[in-house]
Structure 1
Amino acid sequence: MDAFTYLSLFSGIGGLDLGLDRAGMTCVGQVELDDLNRSVLDRHWPEVPKHDDVRTAPAWWATRPRPAVRLVAGGFPCQPFSTAGLRGGTGDPRWGWPWFRAVVRAVRPEYVLVENVAALLRDADAFGWMLGDLAADGFDADWSVLSACAVGAPHTRERLFLVAYPGGELRQARLAQEWREGRQGPVRAPGDGQHAWRRPDAWVETASRPDRVVDGLAAELVAAGGNAVVPQVGEYVGRLITAHAGWTPALDRAAA
């Protein structure tokens, strides 16, 4: 394959997608429920097919010929595990792993990337469920908790990243080890130093919705940005995946 393609689930405003693009990957589909978030995705990925519900995504994907998908990536809702929520775990109706897995089984990628709050690791039922399903589907998995401050953000924002892959070459905590040792090289600098982190609107300011006043829209955009994956972290994990796959982006793409 010439392109390292990925299908994005629970896309939000595309923070993870932006990072994967910077790692040289190519987005071939995005699934996002929120109308406002999809308007942001339309602005930045106008050519990428989009769907509004991960629960019906397998049927949507099968409606026409699609490119092969090497990676399925996304972060299902974190409220069942977040310390700010009620921690309903797998009993919460927002427990999204079964929907995620259904897409993986339909698309049959080589790699799976799951992002969520670090607290998911402490829910043995949920995390064991995920690992068991991945093993049943023929994947091994490694995971690590990575922080936004490690890529220059002025906040901690720890997030769990799980990578599932064929074979057994990676080892648990490899992601964190590789980040400390810088084996994959630096990620793209976040604009003008820390000042770039003070302008979260720079990525989402072009979105609009006719039924919202300016103040309400601004509040929604702030919330959308707060839910997004820090792109620099996504880029780093994306580079680990492509390195494991032995894939190198074309020179013109890497320089973009």
Structure 2
Amino acid sequence: MLKVLDLFSGIGGFSLGLERTGGFETVAFCEIEDYPRKVLAKHWPNVPIYRDVRNVTAKQLIADGITVDVITGGFPCQDLSLAGNQAGIEAERSGLWLELCRVIGDVRPKYAIVENVANLLSGPSEQRGGWFGRVLGDLASIGYDAEWHCIPAAAVGAPHRRDRAWIITYPKSKRCSQAGELQHRRTQERISGSGQTGFFTDNLKERIQGSQSRSLSGGGGSFSWCQNVRRAEELRGRPDLPEPLFCGSRDGIPNWVERLEGCGNAVVPQIPELIGYAILDAEAA
């Protein structure tokens, strides 16, 4: 069982997806916002939740009796997203990438899974290598290789595209032979595609396509309840829907605001689930 440290946890999408594989166990979260912390505490009542990623260190984890095999983190995207100000990866919020990288270098996990907006891979053109070149350079500086791909939520059957960059990183000693041959050249080139080496292979593509096919065919897929809904009113009274997400209030603040933010910031769990299976396949090889 691989032990997971879930950073920038939100409402737990990473952990939910990975734990669905049966091969991962979340041993600690880190989330600063109060509402997502309540969600995590409800669904993972016995898992500690650190508040500030800047205070997470290997020394602290060891003192708390926590061992880590996998680190996950969807670091803040506000300064990278096309919908934001694109202030860059060194700006106040997206600059927390440096803290995520620091924790990876300090803890030295077997794997780390990083998620962010697709624009991470392409902007900005005026900087050599762009933001993603900075990410790869930072990982290389701590002795980690990386593979990456853009996977949209629609690829696993969701009713919206939500394209996101997904990165798997691991110590250089674990690199695939073909990864070693291509890595240096990739880090020097303009990042416009995907790293096709070990994890993002045809096997993972087949898993994604199979998940999408099952969902779109209505055969019990995770998003099958969304199919054939033409109007929002048709959702009312559907017996197959989960408990309403957007209702109630707290201290005069509509509860749906917090819930909407939580869902909007979350990763689609089906994607880390598929990546988790790829990691388990690599571990078994």
TM over 0.5: yes
Partner of 1:117: 117
Cα gap change, 1:209/1:102 in structure 2, threshold over 3 Å: closer, same or farther? farther
Distance in 2 of aligned mates of 1:146 and 1:48: 29
Distance in 2 of aligned mates of 1:185 and 1:154: 16
**Higher relative CO (CA 8 A, sep ≥ 6), structure 1 or 2?**
1
Q: Write the mapping of 1:1-256 to structure 2, written as runs, cut at 5 A.
A: 3-24=1-22, 25-58=24-57, 60-66=60-66, 68-94=67-93, 95-123=95-123, 124-166=129-171, 167-169=174-176, 172-173=195-196, 174-175=199-200, 177-182=202-207, 186=211, 189-190=221-222, 192-194=224-226, 202=242, 205=245, 210-213=250-253, 216-246=254-284
Distance in 2 of aligned mates of 1:103 and 1:212: 38
Letter of the aligned partner of 1:122 in structure 2? Answer: S
Distance in 1 of aligned mates of 2:107 and 2:260: 33
Q: Secondary structure at the match of 1:89?
A: coil
Distance in 1 of aligned mates of 2:156 and 2:56: 33
Relative to structure 2, which stretch is displaced further, 129-138 or 226-235? 129-138
Distance in 1 of aligned mates of 2:11 and 2:249: 14
Largest Rg, 1 or 2 = 2
Could you state the TM-score of these two structures normalised by the residue count of structure 1? 0.83
Q: 1:212 Cα deviation (Å)?
A: 4.6
Q: 1:210 Cα deviation (Å)?
A: 4.8
Q: Secondary structure at the match of 2:56?
A: helix
Q: 1:229 Cα deviation (Å)?
A: 0.5
Relative to structure 2, which stretch is displaced further, 80-89 or 235-244? 235-244
Structure 1, residues 129-163: CA drift from partner, whole Å, max 9, x if none? Answer: 22122222222110000011111111101111000
Q: 1:86 Cα deviation (Å)?
A: 0.5
Identity %: 37
Q: Secondary structure at the match of 1:182?
A: helix
Distance in 1 of aligned mates of 2:51 and 2:243: 21
C-alpha contact 2:70 2:112 (8 A) present in aligned 1: yes
C-alpha contact 1:13 1:204 (8 A) present in aligned 2: no
C-alpha contact 1:43 1:207 (8 A) present in aligned 2: no
Letter of the aligned partner of 1:39 in structure 2? Answer: K
Q: 1:91 Cα deviation (Å)?
A: 3.5
C-alpha contact 1:54 1:100 (8 A) present in aligned 2: yes
Distance in 2 of aligned mates of 1:57 and 1:204: 34
C-alpha contact 2:246 2:257 (8 A) present in aligned 1: no
Distance in 1 of aligned mates of 2:245 and 2:267: 17
Distance in 2 of aligned mates of 1:175 and 1:111: 14
Across the aligned residues of Structure 1 and Structure 2, the Cα RMSD in angstroms comes to 3.0
Letter of the aligned partner of 1:11 in structure 2? Answer: S
Moved over 6 A (4+): 206-209
C-alpha contact 2:9 2:31 (8 A) present in aligned 1: yes
Distance in 2 of aligned mates of 1:57 and 1:245: 27
Cα gap change, 1:207/1:235 in structure 2, threshold over 3 Å: closer, same or farther? farther
Distance in 2 of aligned mates of 1:60 and 1:202: 38
Cα gap change, 1:132/1:176 in structure 2, threshold over 3 Å: closer, same or farther? same
Q: 1:107 Cα deviation (Å)?
A: 1.6
Structure 1, residues 111-133: CA drift from partner, whole Å, max 9, x if none? Answer: 11100000000133421222122
Distance in 2 of aligned mates of 1:203 and 1:102: 39
